[in-house]
Chain A
Amino acid sequence: MADLEVTPAIATRKDETISRLQGLVSKGLGWARRYSLFTYPFATACCGMEYMSVAASRYDIARFGAEFTRFSPRQADLLMVTGTVNLKQAPILKRVYEQMCEPKWVVAFGVCASSGGFYDNYAVLQGIDRIIPVDVYIPGCPPRPEQVLDALLLLQKKISGQTHLLGDRQVERHLGARDLIEPAKLG
């Protein structure tokens, strides 16, 4: 991750070659990953209809390589949280996220998933970023398909800027809620 950016004080020719090779691999993997996003739609509410509209022929999400909807989180690498997530469903969402293999990305689809929307009450999770890290937020109630495609383009831009490694499946993400409290530090 970070050691790709930091140039060592004395770089041998071997180190240089390895880092250049790693850069090439990272670029290639990023290219492959951003154009083949397998989506897991965690559809709980009316935003799911809009997701169907994005996937249908008029706004064809297949043009961006994200058409292959997987209904198993183990086969997906893009989690689209589509709709209101209440507190009873929050552990399920967390479990679904943890079942996904690295690398994985999360899109909060619509205001309910992003911030709770106008359900500012005791039953609704006020934004899924309280339990899982979110890469792109889509506003709108529900968002237009254009907004979803804009978000997908943003996500592809973000993926291409990330560092991808062959051996280590960990992908550099922004500091999400999950990274703030590490179990090792607590114990």
Chain B
Amino acid sequence: MSYPASQNPHEDIRESTYVPELLKGMAITARVFWRNLFGERDLTTRVVERKGLSRVATIAYPEEKPVYPEGYRGLHRLVPRDDGRPRCVACYMCATACPAQCIYIEAAEYDPVDDLRASRVIEKYPKAFVIDQLRCVVCGFCVEACPKDAIRMDTFTHTPPEYSRQSFIYPVDKLLKGTAAVHPSDPWYRREGSGEPAHVHKEAHTRIGPAGRVEVDTGKPVPVTRFLK
């Protein structure tokens, strides 16, 4: 019910009597109120494109959780291999790239006599991998720096608030979760015939003998120039 209004109470009888405008405003308020109270909310689409009768934009947060956008950098996770161990090889690239220095890594070597397939082609694993989530500025540099795709921020959950600073120290068992990642370039897949390698844990030309000097296996072709006899 649109009509031209001059906004001048001296000319406009409708403005000067005041009551019709008051009722009109009350009607608009009441209509929006009842619409929002009993109308159906269309939660699936974006707020501006919603078709439901109720146009309430407020999210009832703990009950309704909005979906985080595609590139949202959430809580970190250490990506497991398909045998459940972390893919991390403790190279310290993420800890070096981290501007907040919130990653602490302690490297350990795999046992050479361990008969796990991965332990012959990977030297190190993180004995301790700790992220201080209260220092982390969620920049994602660790994810970009990682050469092994071992740390990701694709959990789409935020770090929960806590009562104490100590609760934000996330060790490996809190970080290692999610689906395992498998790449054809993974060393434990790339070396097909590495079931029983001739060398244990070392490259062929740099094997150190019991006396401490380097031994060269002359029986097989050595890929690098022989510089020692």
Contact = CB atoms under 8 A, between A and B. Distances in A.
Cβ-closest 8 pairs across A and B: A118-B100, A151-B161, A141-B137, A139-B159, A115-B134, A60-B58, A138-B161, A118-B99
A144 B135 CA distance: 16
Contact of B58 (A58, A111, A117, A127): A58
Contacts of A151: 161
Given A59-B58, A137-B134, 5 more contacts: A58-B47, A118-B101, A120-B100, A141-B139, A143-B158
Interface of A: 57-60, 63, 111, 114-118, 120, 127, 129, 135-141, 143-147, 149-151, 153-154, 158, 174
Contact of B61 (A117, A136, A140, A149): A149
A137 B62 contact: no
B57 A58 contact: yes
Contacts, number: 87
Interface stretch (B8-16, B80-88, B162-170): B162-170
Nearest to B137: A141
Interface residues of B, number: 29
A129 B162 CA distance: 14
Contacts of A150: 62, 158, 160-161
Contact of A154 (B135, B138, B163): B163
Interface string B48-68: 000000000111111001100
A57 B55 CA distance: 12
